[in-house]
Structure 1
């Protein structure tokens, strides 16, 4: 919630699809803003694409687990079969995310209703249908502790943060559709905060319902041949995939519009029919498909994309929040403002994200084998290293041509005494002529 509040203030002050990298450029020190904006743009893109890949992979795995249940466990999917379902889900979500904004908005409303109903069905139906012998006491539900992986109990609790960090992590989703939203300076920050609040309450209630009804034999649950006890939720995951792919494509569009990505001139084009960045949608699908190939390297490799989503986003969130206070640039708040509380909220948010980035890189067990290693640092670190190499690459690197968000629309506005030309960036800034008055 602290992260959402800090981002909400930025979104209210300057709502734009470029969001995170635009705010970094706007508020960071002039000496560092180009490089920091570049890193944030690539980190945000990485986090969003990894989010798409992890959600779709989770959906594919749970769907195949449901098929396994339906066959009385006579069917066990191969990695290739799961990858095929994963590719099909990516394609299906790509089609949905390529449609007109108005249709996507209507679908989002439907997704919200269905998600809430699915959550309530678990919270209500699961306890009602669970035999008495599997129901746990309140004492076990709220104070019971099981450590399965060999770490000290305290550190085991810390490592268990990965699931909620990944689950409630798409804070920038509303930000990337700012340019397609009405009253964005108010609607976007409130959508971030309310989504986090609702997800936290419903998620907590679901976990309480599960803890009350799961019995006490945690080992047998973890050792189930199905491998996915929550397979019944696969359809909820699909809805999440459509939402984050839409958000991811808008971030890719905004960054490519400013020339930040390879092949930007082809990516940022808007479809004249749907008025959506179709090329960015399918570019995101393609890179997500490539990330899915990690599955053939083993479970640990594919699991890295779940942590990669957290790391990419937290790097992209931390830098603009910190830049607002450390860059020395004047701050003008929007309608959504925390006032004097903005500074302590930002400190807590940034420290928490720095701590979380370290935690999600740890392996499940204290003495991992090559198969059990957490490869997030390799995949995520490799992405960051490559983006920095690309920035400083001789002649062709971003350091020679990337100047941050660019003004690319011109409007004529009438002042009290004259008509002045105003260059308005699609990312939200205005550049006035020397003799004009704002």
Structure 2
């Protein structure tokens, strides 16, 4: 007999799970397919079964701990420090003040649209799963394939870019105290590798440990941001160098210091890459949904909280920089722009303090990024997206976490870091790749929901109501505008050379061309979208056989067996 699922996540359920009666949008929806479970499941576990997946993780994340991971991954202090070159360098202080506000309208719209998807489909596959479900008939597999690979490229480049910036800052700080020291690429590479290995070890721990560790990290990140904010505004020594205490508001808000060969409007849009990269990571609660209690409510709330709180705090910190910066051109020519900025407005001991806080925050940020990336890799390997997927779709029996997926991303990240030996411009491409890859992965399922699904989308308990479509349209318009902008080089015409080329086109679209070609040539033969992996007694409303393809979904099930929750 079918059971109605209560709002209480701790309610125990058994019997037939009526998929179409639940507030979810599943690959099994409207197929006449209902799993039957033998034993007691919580609401979260039952909804996951209805989505087509077994419960393989412990649900030891909640709203706060999910938010803690995503906020730690947001890492406002190290993110702003890492992308200062783009935010300040392309358009000056105007790009950091009202430019940030304009960019956040689009980013918050994307986050809210994503949160609505998460509430309806709370699974680790996240956007990839949503793209498969919401795509028009016959297009689910290719939509899921492109979304999944783009999202994974974002995830797998995130930790390397964070750790690269962290290592560069450590060595730049060392250079300030040792004038004879010359930073070499291999110094940065080896230190970055050490950081990534230590983060990989931590990310291989149990879910309970990771939840507590990232709660601590998020708290420390918040404290570090507040301390740095106060120090920059209260202890600057600009007056000792002949400058007023703060820059004039007319200059901060009204002066566009265009250091590109493009018109001012384009330069402002190019500066948005700083905001987009800084605000990346709010999708992490989506990927942790299978480890979160009351996931259909807590996970979308964590997404919106991360983007909203992060946007306000990030803008405030950008304002502090805009009002205290002195010589932008010198900052842009430095090996580590943020350290140079600090040295312009603070005494040396406070430069050391703020830089040290930034480094500590960066470590927690990189580690949170590695957790999110491992869940994405695990979810995609579970559905056969990678070569030798069976190796990376395993959950470690001791830690009950996807350890193999952690180390897959770590090894690939170490290989990506070899780009630094091709020059600073080449390694900088991983920042813009992370931004463009995330945006494309984010927008595909949102576009499907707004354009193709329309009123047929089944919202979860957290939804946007009548504002769903307008906010979705803003999201789509913002991404369509920004994707080509993120591929623009800083210079053009006679000023453009290989050193100044924006290598995002090659570093992102090269792997994506390989992925799409692989799908068209071979992978389409076996990849049919998310694989329903529950060993359950499936009740068909028609004569379809278990194991067939249902609306582009690969159903892997044995009707003779039942799933037992012990």
Q: Given the alignment of the two structures, is residue 182 of structure 1 paired with residue 293 of structure 2, yes or no? A: yes
What is the CA–CA distance in structure 1 between the aligned matches of 2:533 and 2:238, rounded to whole Å? 65
Report the alpha carbon displacement of residue 122 of structure 1 after superposing the two structures with TM.
1.7
* Aligned counterpart in structure 2 of residue 3 of structure 1, from 110, 129, 140: 110
Report the alpha carbon displacement of residue 307 of structure 1 after superposing the two structures with TM.
0.7
1:245-264 equivalence runs, <5 A: 245-264=370-389
Q: Is the 8 A contact 2:537 2:558 kept in 1?
A: no
Q: 1:390 to 1:210 in 2, by over 3 A?
A: same
* 1:29 alignment counterpart: 136
What is the CA–CA distance in structure 2 between the aligned matches of 1:10 and 1:430, rounded to whole Å? 24
* 1:116 alignment counterpart: 222
Q: Is the 8 A contact 2:167 2:192 kept in 1?
A: yes
* 1:54 alignment counterpart: 161
Q: Is the 8 A contact 2:535 2:557 kept in 1?
A: no
Q: Is the 8 A contact 1:3 1:349 kept in 2?
A: yes
List structure 1 runs of 4+ shifted beyond 6 angstroms: 429-433
* 1:234 alignment counterpart: 359
TM-score by length of 1: 0.90
SS of residue paired to 2:262: coil
What is the CA–CA distance in structure 1 between the aligned matches of 2:180 and 2:322, rounded to whole Å? 29
Report the alpha carbon displacement of residue 430 of structure 1 after superposing the two structures with TM.
12
Q: Given the alignment of the two structures, is residue 222 of structure 1 paired with residue 343 of structure 2, yes or no? A: no
Q: 1:266 to 1:431 in 2, by over 3 A?
A: closer
Q: Given the alignment of the two structures, is residue 267 of structure 1 paired with residue 392 of structure 2, yes or no? A: yes
SS of residue paired to 2:500: coil
* 1:424 alignment counterpart: none
SS of residue paired to 2:535: strand
**CA distances 1:271-299 after superposition (whole Å, capped 9, x unpaired):** 00000000000000111111111111111
What is the CA–CA distance in structure 2 between the aligned matches of 1:179 and 1:314, rounded to whole Å? 23
Q: Is the 8 A contact 2:152 2:377 kept in 1?
A: yes
Q: Given the alignment of the two structures, is residue 369 of structure 1 paired with residue 497 of structure 2, yes or no? A: yes
What is the CA–CA distance in structure 2 between the aligned matches of 1:165 and 1:132, rounded to whole Å? 30
Structure 1: runs of 5+ lacking an equivalent: 415-420, 422-426, 434-438
1:92-107 equivalence runs, <5 A: 92-107=198-213
* 2:428 alignment counterpart: 303
* 2:28 alignment counterpart: none
Report the alpha carbon displacement of residue 111 of structure 1 after superposing the two structures with TM.
1.3
What is the CA–CA distance in structure 2 between the aligned matches of 1:328 and 1:3, rounded to whole Å? 17
Q: Is the 8 A contact 1:68 1:226 kept in 2?
A: no
* 2:461 alignment counterpart: 335
* Aligned counterpart in structure 1 of residue 276 of structure 2, from 165, 171, 186: 165
* 2:513 alignment counterpart: 385
Report the alpha carbon displacement of residue 63 of structure 1 after superposing the two structures with TM.
1.6
TM-score by length of 2: 0.70
Q: Given the alignment of the two structures, is residue 293 of structure 1 paired with residue 403 of structure 2, yes or no? A: no
Q: 1:296 to 1:152 in 2, by over 3 A?
A: same
What is the CA–CA distance in structure 1 between the aligned matches of 2:392 and 2:557, rounded to whole Å? 26
